[in-house]
Amino acid sequence: MQETRQDQRTRTQRAIELEERYGAHNYHPLPVVLDSGKGVHVWDVDGKRYYDFLSAYSAINQGHCHPRLVQVMQEQATRMTLTSRAFYNSVLGQFAQVLCETFGYEKMLPMNTGAEAVETALKMARKWGYEKKGIPAGKAKVIVCEGNFHGRTITIVSMSTDPDSQGGFGPFTPGFEVIPYDDIPALEKALADPNVCAFLVEPIQGEKGVYTPADDYIPKAIALCKQRNVLFIADEIQTGIARTGRLLASCLGTGCTCAGGRCERTDKTTRPDVVILAKALSGGMYPVSAVLADAHIMDVFTPGTHGSTYGGNPMGARLAIEALAIVKDEDLVANADRLGRIFRAEMQKLVDRYDFVKLVRGRGLLNALVIEPRTAADGSPRTAWELCLLLRDNGLLAKPTHGDIIRFAPPLVITEEQLMECTNIIALSVQQFA
Active site residue ranges? 149, 235, 279
Report yes or no: 117 and 306 within 8 Å, Cβ to Cβ: no
**Buried b vs exposed e over 229-256: b needs ≥16 C-beta within 10 Å?**
ebbbbbbbbbbbbbbbbbbbbbbbbbeb
Measured CA to CA, the distance from residue 192 to residue 195 in angstroms comes to: 9
Contact 371, 403 (CB under 8 A): no
Q: What is the CA radius of gyration of the chain?
A: 22
Residue type, 94: Q
Neighbours of 27 (CB within 10 A): 7
- At 426, the amino acid letter reads I
Spatial separation of the C-alpha atoms in residues 303 and 311, rounded to whole Å? 15
120 CB burial (10 A radius; 0-12, 13-18, 19+): buried
> Do residues 258 and 265 lie in contact, with contact meaning Cβ atoms separated by under 8 Å?
yes
